[in-house]
Structure 1
Amino acid sequence: MKIAVAKYPIGAPRRFDDFAEKQSLWLREAASAGANIAVLPEYLSLELGAIFEAPIRDDLHASLAAIQRYRGAWLALYSALSQETGMRIVAGTFLLDTGNGRYRNRADLFSPEGGAVWQDKLQLTGFEKKTGVIDGGDALKVFDFDGVRAGIAICYDIEFPLPVRAQCEAGAHLLLVPSCTDTLAGATRVRVGCLARALENRSFVAKAVTTGAAEWSPALDINTGEAAVYAPMDVGFPVDGILVASNEGAGWSYADIDVAQLDGSRAQAQVANDRDWRGQLAPQLLQATVERCS
């Protein structure tokens, strides 16, 4: 299976049709490279904020409310592109109004058969908490397709071991990570989280990022980080766990993953973090004792 992860440049579309044309160009490029699944970045829907005049565009709360009118067109666009290209598409995330002016950060996964599933972001960053209108999700899922079971962990979620572990214990071998960070520290946290989850769970992790400056946006003004696909740091895989990583420019990065190879490599593995996980949960290890050293 070939995975495409985007280092996606935030633009300033004037109409939804402009946004749709950009998505078509990007996703057709990934399909022409032979990708089976394409991952776009977190907060992708906020690029639609550029469509509106300054009083809405410059106000995050007003932008969140305004982009809801494009939710139906968004779903139709990515469903059509998935069917056209034959790829599964993680369409970044859409800040979805769930009622009473509350929003959830939702990643939709589209299939070439016309279906779609979703995962909401569970943990909120400081920025999201400060908005006062974004809620964390309350459901954790995994998805089956093409002989693979996958989970979605949106940006900050990949920094939390236990929900991701639950996805992997439910059979996920692949974690899809749409992300958006505005500082090098934030990008590092997500990168380290991806590597840690790949190590702990003996899984593949595919991360998409935003790039470039969008001074018009109260949320996407600065974007950092590199797109990458990670693997366990063990026999049969790169010693640094990096199957592929983007360079300075925007674009797609591609990696081939083989779940059968991943499973088969366990017999030669130097360590067994995934199988040794429960050892750390022994009752006597769940609380440290305090001793005085004097």
Structure 2
Amino acid sequence: HLVWRNPKVPQGTATKSEYSGGRLADSVRVGTVQYMLRRVHSFEEFIKFVEYFVDVVATYNGDFVVFPELFTLQLLSIENREMPPAEAIEALTEYTPRFREAMRELALRHNINIIGGSHPTRVPNGRVENISYVFLRDGRIYEQAKIHPTPNEVSWWNIEGGETVSAIETDCGPIGVLVCYDSEFPELVRHLTDQGIHILFVPFCTDERQSYLRVRYCCHARAVENQIYVVMSGNVGNLPNVSNMDIQYAQSCVLTPCDFPFSRDGIAADTTPNVETVAIADLRPDTLVTARNNGTVRNLRDRRHDLYGVVWRGK
């Protein structure tokens, strides 16, 4: 007998609630901000720059806008003097409550979900972690700490890694966020994909092209092997009086799997390197379902669970 399997319907035993965890939108519009670091004179001026880009993507009816990793280091330029690293990171963590409240207000006012780059935060146990805050347009705030601080972050700012990686439920379905270097560890993205994400947001901060390409190549590999969309957002410009932020290199983009239903070269949107700008793309989660079930290759379905797997030992 013949069996026809609808390529748009997920295969397996998972129930609808287990699979989607929320609304699976027909189309999700994302905007990635390639953000220029420049001196600011006050917290209010910083938020004014941020709101400009939130408003731009919201005007284009975006569902998500994403900012780069460590873009809040711009706040250290308010003092107009170069502080020692320990003093600088302590001063930056003091902005956390104001940053959270201001970004939450922007998400509510502009009716858009904001991936707030990342911001060094002192957590209750006294450690400083590099945390990406997700501000949903219904007022909820989620946190995703960077799991793997780079050697640079550890030596300059004594940043420590987080311990949890979890999908975030939104009105557009479950998403994941990994900060920069974390995208270079395939196990983390597979762990998120197993939780049902279709879109991964990667705020990053790289100083030169080689560093950038490590992140980009790994992000595209994650898009192919997990059959997900990956949205990258990076900094450009410089902050001369802020330690360890002398130069930046970025080419922010929206990446897709490489198969016939997707954009040519697996790139849904791209930017000109090192120019402050925004790239916008419409992403269709149902196309991912089609590719996973009926694509030229089916990376998720063809895994050999009898031979290998990802085991999460954290919380």
3-state SS of 2:138 partner: coil
Equivalent in the alignment of 2:98: 73
Query: What displacement does 1:215 show?
Result: 1.6
Superposed, 1:166-185 pairs within 5 Å as: 166-185=191-210
Q: 1:193 aligns with which of 218, 239, 243?
A: 218
Superposed, 1:1-294 pairs within 5 Å as: 1-54=28-81, 57-98=82-123, 102-131=127-156, 133-248=158-273, 249-278=275-304, 282=307
CA distance in 2, matches of 1:79, 1:89: 8
Relative contact order: is structure 1 or structure 2 higher (C-alpha 8 Å, sep ≥ 6)? 2
CA distance in 1, matches of 2:30, 2:153: 29
Structure 1 gap segments, 5+ residues each: 284-294
CA distance in 1, matches of 2:146, 2:64: 20
Query: What displacement does 1:260 show?
Result: 1.3
RMSD: 1.6
Same amino acid, percent of matched pairs? 27
Q: 1:117 to 1:213 in 2, by over 3 A?
A: same
3-state SS of 2:232 partner: strand
CA distance in 1, matches of 2:78, 2:125: 24
Per-residue deviation, residues 86-116 of structure 1 (Å, max 9, x unmatched): 1000111010012576310000000111110
Kept in 1: contact 2:40–2:77 (CA 8 A): yes
TM-score, normalised by the number of residues in structure 1: 0.91
Query: What displacement does 1:10 show?
Result: 0.3
CA distance in 2, matches of 1:163, 1:76: 29
Per-residue deviation, residues 109-143 of structure 1 (Å, max 9, x unmatched): 00111110010000121201213621000111101
Query: What displacement does 1:76 show?
Result: 1.0
Q: Which amino acid in 2 is paired with 1:166?
A: H
Per-residue deviation, residues 174-206 of structure 1 (Å, max 9, x unmatched): 101000000111100000011000011000000
Equivalent in the alignment of 2:3: none
TM-score, normalised by the number of residues in structure 2: 0.85
Query: What displacement does 1:254 show?
Result: 0.4
Q: Which amino acid in 1 is paired with 2:295?
A: A
The size of the alignment, in residue pairs, is 280
The runs of 4+ residues in structure 1 deviating greater than 4 Å are none
3-state SS of 1:273 partner: coil
